[in-house]
Each structure stands twice: as C-alpha cells, then as structure tokens.
Amino acid sequence: MLEVKDLHSYYGQAHVLQGASLTVGASEVVALLGRNGMGKTSLIRSVMGLSSPQVRGGAVTWKERSLLAMKPHQIARARIGYVPQGRRLFPSLTVTEHLTVLKSPDVTHGWTVERAFELFPRLAERRQHRGSQLSGGERQMLAVARALMIDPELILMDEPSEGLAPVMVQHLESIIAELKAQGLAILLVEQNLYSALAVADRVVVLESGKTVFEAKAGSFAPDTLTHYLGVH
C-alpha cells in the first residue's frame, strides 16, 4: 500500500534522508528502527508531507498515487493517520474535543468518538480533562485515538513508547495488536528492538538516512542488529 523509494530529504543543507526505502502492506505492522538521528522521524514527516524536511528526490506512493505533491491534510484524508513524536496534543482542547474537532459526534460509521472511548476506557473517564492534565500513558492513548478519527488504513506512529512506563508500553503493544487485528496497517518508529519485535511483522533499519536492513520479524537473530542499534 505504502511505498517509499530511494527518498532524499533535507533540513536546509543537511541531507537527512539519503535513499531511504520501505514498504508497508495492508494490515501489516512494520517497525522502523535505528539509533537517534538516523532519519526515522524525518522519514515519517516526509511521508506525511510536512514542510520540513524538504523532499528533493525519490518517491512516496500510496495505493499507486504519489503523495509528494500533496498537502498534509490531503494525505491525512487519503486515510493515513499520524501519531507525532512527543504526542503533540492540543493544550487548549479537552480529551473529547481532541476527537470531536476532527469528527462530528453525530457520525455513526467508521471510528466514532464512542468507539475510540471503548478502545481506551481510561480516556472516557477523563473526557473533560485537558491534554496537559493526563498522564504520559493517557496522552499517548489520546494521540492514537485522535489518529483514528480520520478512519485510517495506515497509521504512522512516531516513537509512541517514548517515555512510557514498561506496563504502559505493554498496553500500547496490545493496542497495536488490536488495531492490526481490525485491519489497520501500522508503520511504527521504535528505538527498542525487543518492543518492536513484540508487535511487528517486518523490521526496517535506517542508518544515516539509508535503509540498511530489512527482514521479516523472526527470520533473524536479534543480536545481528546490535551493530546498527547499539546495545539494548
């Protein structure tokens, strides 16, 4: 469904993606791994069409359509959901408003506000709270719930486990498994190899903005990646 081919992106003069490639199939969970600064977030932002980094070469296609000339809101409406790094919730909005701002509460098909609350009962208890009043785990749940409001077929998740307690990381893994079971594809940026292997069908490793390793989860010994990822 999603194909990133030989992508080159720049922050000003800095050449951050130097030929990154990956694919995500329908209902597939792909983990994007790599150390800090290797281009994982740059790749996600390039796919999402955000104004930096600037894409200057390569191709991003989604269901045979190029995403490169499209604006972020058009890419989102093509049913690509986005969970940004650091959550990026809206401090002025309540939990409920984070969802209703993207989808009228009257809508009854697809991901409704109520269905999101069923998936995340903790959020339902905090409907009127503001994003800033939530715990780290609840914030991440809200960021995922918000991404569901556009009825995505693919969700780009940028380090959702960052800063979460181990028990919350496990909860997140179960949510990812649940979403996959419902037919969603997920491109998951991770720093932790073992957390990624717990949920991913396939693993892609970036180093210095290039794809240097790609394999099905379980088809390789995790130790072979130590070279790319450092010690875990």
Partner 1 sequence: MSLFSLLNGLTFAALLFIVASGFTLIFGLLRIVNLAHGALYLFGGLVGYSAAAATGSFLAGIAAGMGAAALLGVALDRGLLRFVRGFELRQVLLTLGVAFVLNDLALVIWGGDTLTVPMPEALQGAMEIGPVFYPKYRLFVLGLGIFVFAGLWFLLHRTRLGALIRAGVDDPETIEAMGVDIRRVFLGTFMLGAALAGLGGVIGGAFLTLYPSADSEILVFSLAVVIIGGRGSLVGAGVGALLVGLLNSFGQVLFPELAYFAIFGPMALLLAFRPLGLFGKAA
What span, in angstroms and rounded, lies between the C-alpha atoms of 123 and 134?
Answer: 9
What are the C-alpha distances in Å from 1 to residues 33, 74, 105, 202?
A: 20, 17, 30, 15
Shortest Cβ 148–partner 1 spacing (Å): 11
Give the residue with the Cβ less far from partner 1, 19 or 72: 72
Residues 103-122 close enough to bind partner 1 by CB under 8 A:
104
Shortest Cβ 110–partner 1 spacing (Å): 13
- In terms of DSSP H, where are the helices of 11-135? 40-48, 72-77, 95-100, 113-119, 121-124
162 binds partner 1 (CB under 8 A): no
Q: Which stretch binds partner 1 (CB under 8 A): 32-40, 146-154, 175-183, 191-199?
A: 146-154
What are the C-alpha distances in Å from 210 to residues 5, 59, 73?
A: 11, 14, 27
Shortest Cβ 12–partner 1 spacing (Å): 14
63 binds partner 1 (CB under 8 A): no
Shortest Cβ 150–partner 1 spacing (Å): 5
8 A C-beta contact, residue 202 and residue 27: no
Tell me which of 71, 115, 127, 216 binds partner 1, using CB under 8 A: 71
Each residue 27-56 as x (binds partner 1 by CB under 8 A) or -, in order, gives ---------------------x-xx-----
Running DSSP on this structure, what letter comes out for residue 9?
Answer: E
Shortest Cβ 143–partner 1 spacing (Å): 10
What span, in angstroms and rounded, lies between the C-alpha atoms of 13 and 10?
Answer: 6
189 binds partner 1 (CB under 8 A): no
* 154-158 β-sheet, strand order: 80-83, 154-158, 185-189, 29-33, 202-207, 210-216
59 binds partner 1 (CB under 8 A): no
Each residue 82-101 as x (binds partner 1 by CB under 8 A) or -, in order, gives x-x---x-xxxx---x--xx
Which residues in this chain contact partner 1 in the complex, by CB under 8 A? Answer: 48, 50-51, 71-73, 75-77, 82, 84, 88, 90-93, 97, 100-102, 104, 146-147, 149-150
